[in-house]
Amino acid sequence: MTQEFVEPRKKEVTASNEVSLLQHLITESENEASQGFDTKSALEIARIINHEDAKVAGAVKKSLGEIAQVIDQVARSLRDGGRLIYVGAGSSGRIAALDASECPPTYSTVPGQVQYIMAGGPKALASAVEVNEDSEELGQRDIARRRPTRKDVVIGVSASGRTPYVVAATAYARARGAFAAAVTCNHGTPLEAAADIAIIAEVGPEVVSGSTRMKASTAQKMILNMITTGAMTRMGYVYENLMVNVHMQNSKLVERGIRVLMSACNIDRAKAVETIKCAGRSVPVALVMLKAKVDKPEAVRRLAKSDGNVRLAIEDSGITF
C-alpha cells in the first residue's frame, strides 16, 4: 500500500512562500563550480570539494567580532553558575552535540554545564528524524524542560537559519532572559531575528546543492570550537596553550596530563608522574604545586579562590612570568 505524501504544515508561511524562501537561501542555491559534478573523476571530485572547502575559514573570519562577544558571554555565564545550551537539528544539531560532548573530557566541565538539545532527541544523532525540525511546539517544549534563565547562554545552530524547531527554542530561551545567539550561514533569517547576536558564516552554495553537512557544517564546527575553546581559556582552564584541565580517565588522557606537566614545568617524566600522584591525579593542582612551590592543600585553596583559573592560582604567589 502506497503511503500518501502529506506536505508538512507550516504555521507562519504558506507552501508556495516556503519554496520562494528556500530558493533565496544561498545555502540552497546551485554552485557553478560543481556543474557536471556527476561526470567527474574521483580526483576531480576531490579537487572541487577541496577548492570549495578552502572558502570556509575566510567566511568564518568575517564574524570574528561576534564570535568574540559570544566567547566572553559564555565564559561569564559559566563562571556565574550558568549553562551553555546548544539547540540544533539535523547536521547542525549533530555538530552541536559533538562540541558539547567533548567539553567534559577536554576541560573537566561538570555535568550539565555544556548541553545540547536536538530535534528528535539523542536517537537523531545516528538516525534521521528530520520531521521534528518543522515543529515549533517541540522546540519550545524541549528548551522549556531545561528551564533557561538569565544566567544561561542558548545558541541556536541552523545552516538555513529558518529551522522552526531551532528558531522557536531560541526565541523561547531569550524571552526567559537567557542570552541567545545564532550560528547560521544565511543573512536576514528568522533565527537571526530571534537572537541577541548572530554569527553568520556565508560559505556560499554547496558542491552538492543544499547538502549543508558540507561547507556549512564545517563552518559551524569551526565556530563552535572557537566558542567553547575560547570560553574555557578565558576561564583559566588552559595554561599558555596547554590543556591543563584535562580529565584523566583513560590511558591516553593520563599520558596527555603527564606531558602537559612536563612541558609547562620543564621537568622529567618521573617528577611529573610523582607530582600528579601527590596532587590526587589533578593536573591543575599539580601545576600550581610546582609553579608556586606550594603543597597540595595550598594549591587546592588557590584554585578554589580563583574559580579554577590556573594562572590566577599560580600568580597568587607573586611569581611573574
Lowest mean pLDDT among 27-36, 93-102, 165-174: 27-36
Task: Identify whether residues 64 and 162 lie together within a single domain.
Answer: yes
Query: Stretch 249-276: mean pLDDT, rounded?
Result: 91
Whether 7 is a known active-site residue: answer no
Closest CA to 142 of 169, 179, 164: 169
Whether 102 is a known active-site residue: answer yes
Task: Identify whether residues 164 and 61 lie together within a single domain.
Answer: yes
Predicted local distance difference test score (pLDDT) of residue 275: 94
Task: Identify whether residues 60 and 108 lie together within a single domain.
Answer: yes
Q: How many CB atoms lie within 10 A of CB 156?
A: 36
Predicted local distance difference test score (pLDDT) of residue 224: 98
- Spot the catalytic one: 18, 66, 102, 130: 102
Domain membership flag for residue 69: yes
Task: Identify whether residues 160 and 297 lie together within a single domain.
Answer: no
Predicted local distance difference test score (pLDDT) of residue 121: 84
pLDDT digits (tens, 9 = 90+) for 143-159: 999 999 999 999 999 99
Task: Identify whether residues 75 and 223 lie together within a single domain.
Answer: yes
- Residue 26 CA to residue 276 CA, distance in Å, equals 52
Domain membership flag for residue 46: no
Domain membership flag for residue 213: yes
Domain membership flag for residue 8: no
Count how many domains the chain has: 2
Query: Stretch 223-238: mean pLDDT, rounded?
Result: 96
Domain residues for 305? 251-315
221 neighbors 254 (Cβ within 8 angstroms): no
Backbone angles phi, psi at 237, to 5 degrees: -85, 0
CATH number at residue 143: 3.40.50.10490
Predicted local distance difference test score (pLDDT) of residue 15: 37
Predicted local distance difference test score (pLDDT) of residue 254: 87
Q: Which long-range contacts (CB under 8 A, 24 or more apart) does 260-265 make?
A: 260/287, 261/286, 261/287, 261/290, 264/239, 264/240, 264/290, 264/291, 265/290, 265/291
CB-based contacts of 7: which residues, under 8 Å, 6+ apart? Answer: 15
Task: Identify whether residues 120 and 195 lie together within a single domain.
Answer: yes
Q: By percentage, how much of the chain surpasses pLDDT 70?
A: 88
- Residue 255 CA to residue 275 CA, distance in Å, equals 14
Quote the mean pLDDT of the chain: 88
pLDDT digits (tens, 9 = 90+) for 195-229: 999 999 999 888 888 888 899 999 999 999 999 99
Domain membership flag for residue 31: no
DSSP type of residue 126: T
Domain membership flag for residue 188: yes
Domain membership flag for residue 32: no
Task: Identify whether residues 279 and 142 lie together within a single domain.
Answer: no
Domain boundary among 203, 234, 265: 234
- Residue 43 CA to residue 50 CA, distance in Å, equals 10
Task: Identify whether residues 223 and 301 lie together within a single domain.
Answer: no
Domain membership flag for residue 43: no
pLDDT digits (tens, 9 = 90+) for 12-42: 443 334 444 556 776 776 777 767 788 889 9
Query: Stretch 287-302: mean pLDDT, rounded?
Result: 95
Predicted local distance difference test score (pLDDT) of residue 136: 93
pLDDT digits (tens, 9 = 90+) for 36-88: 788 889 999 999 999 999 999 999 999 999 999 999 999 999 999 999 999 99
Domain boundary among 171, 204, 234: 234
DSSP type of residue 32: G
Closest CA to 287 of 305, 302, 299: 299
Q: Which residue has the cell 599539580?
A: 286
CB-based contacts of 16: which residues, under 8 Å, 6+ apart? Answer: none
- Spot the catalytic one: 28, 133, 192, 206: 133
* pLDDT at residue 8 tops 80: no
